[in-house]
Amino acid sequence: MGRRLAVLAIMIGLVAVLFWAGIHNLRHRRALSQVPHITLIPASPADDNSPAPEAEGAELRGKDAPPFTLTDLSGKQVSLADFKGHPVVVNFWATWCGPCKLEMPWFQEFSSKYKGQGLEVLGLSQDDGASPRDVADAAKKIGVTYPILMPDEKVAKKYGGVDYLPETFYIDRAGKVVDVTAGAPSKDQMEALIQKTIAAGGA
Amino acid sequence: MKRRFIVKKVALIITAIAIPLVAAAQISLGGLDRTAQAKKQHVELLTDSLQLTANKPQDVELRFRVEPGFHINSHTPKDELLIPTVLKLDPGSLHIAGEQYPPGQHFRLQIGSGEDLDVYQGEFRVMLRVQAPKGATTLAGSLRYQACDTAACFPAKLLPVQIAVTAH
């Protein structure tokens, strides 16, 4: 009799602890949800000095950049390996992505400014089903002349899925991913990341 | 014997109540990781049923809500490259004589030189002119939209639309 009551008491105690943990967890998550998607949304991207937002492919930081070969707008095959020894910015973008189109002129500006230090910028379109001509027209309208490469889902998967755009990988001369951003950073943040990438991986 | 039965029954009831409660608390606001957040819908359908007068054309509204902090392009975005919000319906036995999208709201994307957009935020309503035969049916289809926040965009998604229609 006493044993049965003890078992019942333990069970009630266990359930009470589980219940309390569940409620506590719910409250905690509700509190977090008051600031939705904080890792993705700088309040004022243009003048925010906080660290760049996290990306899905952030786990690639410090690792070798996944290799790829894609087709450019003229039909030529372009490989990441072609740029070995150069700091490379790999920017995933799409013609339908407003923030992408607004940050791309900065990549254009910095590709000229840091050309002497070997900087290369590659724009990887994520416009599934679009023709190279459509993508070329959009790139021209945006005002970029660096290589634009056509999409391949397998490459996006290698880079963490690229579930939201823009997503940018900063790759040093040794082929290692120095940093990753999702969402458009401020211009100052972008330049700082480029400088960091140029400085990393040896001269 | 009877006491043992009662103890077992009480334990069973407590467990049966507690487990779903705890599970609900765990998943209600998402045991969702960030990947799941990126893949989830950012628009929800608020209308789940319509009551109509049979065989009479009438205006109905389908109510949708965009997740706070996000916007989607209106049906007529300013830039041809942007993906418009479009409702595609399979009328079945219904006759849909027309559809009318609400005008978009102005939204300024504050990055670099900035861009003026025409978007839906919060709740928006698509009006339909519908005629239904007597009885019950389902209005099915999908809403295609493309969501962004202030710094990033998600690929276009399809929101399934399933609305129970009853005409008397």
Which residue from A174, A176, A160, A149 is spatially nearest to A69, judged by alpha carbons?
A: A149
**What is the arithmetic mean of pLDDT over A115-137?**
96
The residue among A54 and A46 whose pLDDT is bigger is: A54
Say which of A5, A96, A165 has its CB closest to residue B83.
A96
A22, B115: Cβ pair inside 8 Å? no
Chain B residues inside the 8 Å CB shell of A37:
37, 69, 149
The whole-number pLDDT of residue B138 equals 94
Q: pTM of whole model > 0.90?
A: no
B152, A43: Cβ pair inside 8 Å? no
Residues B29-59: tens digit of each pLDDT: 333 344 555 568 999 999 999 999 999 999 9
Task: Give the position of tokens 């919060």.
Answer: B122
**Could you tell me if B162 lies within 8 Å of chain A, comparing CB atoms?**
no
The whole-number pLDDT of residue A21 equals 60
B68, A102: Cβ pair inside 8 Å? no
The residue of chain B with its CA nearest to that of A44 is B110
The residue of chain B with its CA nearest to that of A54 is B34
Q: Is A65 left (phi over 0), alpha (psi -120 to 50) or beta?
A: beta
In this prediction, the answer to ipTM > 0.85 reads: no
Give percent of chain A above pLDDT 70.
Answer: 74
B11, A94: Cβ pair inside 8 Å? no
The residue among A19 and A5 whose pLDDT is bigger is: A5
The whole-number pLDDT of residue B27 equals 33
- Report residue A84's pLDDT band, with 50, 70 and 90 as the boundaries: very high
Residues A17-30: tens digit of each pLDDT: 666 665 555 454 44
Nearest-CA distance B30 → chain A (Å): 8
**Could you tell me if B15 lies within 8 Å of chain A, comparing CB atoms?**
yes
**Could you tell me if B6 lies within 8 Å of chain A, comparing CB atoms?**
no
Chain A residues inside the 8 Å CB shell of B117:
98
Indicate if the pLDDT at residue A187 is higher than 80.
yes
Nearest-CA distance B148 → chain A (Å): 8
B155, A163: Cβ pair inside 8 Å? yes
Residues A143-155: tens digit of each pLDDT: 999 999 999 999 9
Residues 6+ positions from A43 with CB-CB distance below 8 Å:
B150
A100, A121, A156, A165: which is the annotated catalytic residue? Answer: A100
- Residue numbers in chain B where pLDDT is lower than 50: 19-34
Residue A97: active-site member: no
Q: Rounded to whole angstroms, how far apart are CA atoms B48 and B38?
A: 25
Residues 6+ positions from B45 with CB-CB distance below 8 Å:
B62, B63, B64, B143, B159, B161, B163
**What is the arithmetic mean of pLDDT over A172-183?**
95
**Could you tell me if B67 lies within 8 Å of chain A, comparing CB atoms?**
yes
Q: Which residues are A182's β-sheet partners?
A: A167
Mutation target for B interface from A107, A109, A164: give the one with most B CBs within 10 A. A164
The residue among A9 and A32 whose pLDDT is bigger is: A9
The whole-number pLDDT of residue B156 equals 95
The residue of chain B with its CA nearest to that of A135 is B81
